[in-house]
């Protein structure tokens, strides 16, 4: 399976800068060994999808509601994402778990909604610094996997240690390898439909460390935050794959 390099632009990107970034990535991509995905803010999905049309670069959302339509002011459904050109959606990101109080059960419902709409869900799991210090990282991730993935889950899992997101701190190669092996074992044990799913690493992945991380066992790609906002940095990570 080809590695997947996904860029999560988070709450960044007005019209002109988003267009320029998308064009820069498209024009600099060349022949990539990896699959490439860009997840811009919802306001930019349609425009970015139009710029990337025919390039082989996929476009995704950063969130979706559990329902298809209805009285949910400010929300966006999986069907709406699909309608404007998205093929993937990031769900369960630690920032939404913390800032919006999203529970495992809610995330599982969103995953089901995404699957029903034909989107590929990328479900994020990961421990805080305190949980790792207490040696609870596997317990925490197992709980998130069990609660956030429906039984028929088919998609992508992203391991993002919360303490490494946007901090410049990166787990050791041994720590990343151990957690990815643990996630693979959990998927095989409890979610047979996802036994062979890609497991991405996310958390301060940069051009300087991407090759080492992407070469580790069971690392099936990267979920890239800050480095995806600079075309040359994101392209360097793609080349590293």
Active site residues: 93, 160
3-state secondary structure string, the chain? CCCEEEEECCCCCCHHHHHHHHHHHHHHHCCCCCEEEEECCHHHHHHHHHHHCCCCCEEEECCCCCCCCCCCCCCCCHHHHHHCCCCEEEECCHHHHHHCCCCHHHHHHHHHHHHHHCCEEEEEECCCHHHHHCCCHHHHHHHHHHHHCCCCCCCEEEECCHHHCCCCCCCCHHHHHHHHHHHHHHHHHHCHHHCCCCEEEECCCCHHHHHHHHCCCCCCEEEECHHHHCHHHHHHHHHHC
Of 103, 125, 102, 106, the C-alpha closest to 184 is 125
């Amino acid at each position: 399976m080809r590695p997947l390099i996904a860029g999560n632009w988070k709450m960044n990107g007005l019209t002109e800068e988003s267009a320029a970034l998308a064009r820069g990535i498209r024009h600099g991509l060349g022949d990539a060994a990896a699959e490439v995905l860009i997840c811009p803010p919802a306001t930019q999905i349609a425009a970015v999808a139009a710029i990337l049309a025919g390039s082989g670069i996929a476009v995704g959302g950063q969130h979706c509601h559990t329902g298809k339509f209805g009285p949910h002011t400010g929300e966006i459904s999986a069907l709406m994402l699909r309608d404007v050109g998205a093929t993937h959606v990031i769900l369960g990101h630690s920032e939404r778990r913390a800032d919006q109080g999203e529970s495992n059960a809610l995330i599982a419902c969103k995953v089901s909604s995404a699957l029903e709409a034909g989107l590929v869900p990328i479900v994020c799991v990961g421990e805080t610094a305190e949980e790792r210090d207490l040696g609870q990282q596997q317990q925490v991730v197992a709980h998130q996997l069990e609660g956030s993935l429906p039984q028929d889950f088919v998609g992508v899992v992203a391991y993002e240690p919360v303490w490494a997101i946007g901090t410049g701190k990166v787990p050791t190669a041994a720590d990343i390898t151990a957690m990815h092996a643990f996630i693979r074992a959990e998927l095989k044990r409890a979610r047979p439909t996802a036994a062979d799913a890609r497991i991405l690493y996310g958390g301060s992945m940069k051009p300087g460390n991407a090759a080492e991380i992407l070469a580790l066992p069971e690392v099936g790609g990267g979920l890239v935050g800050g480095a995806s906002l600079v075309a040359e940095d994101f392209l360097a990570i793609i080349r590293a794959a």
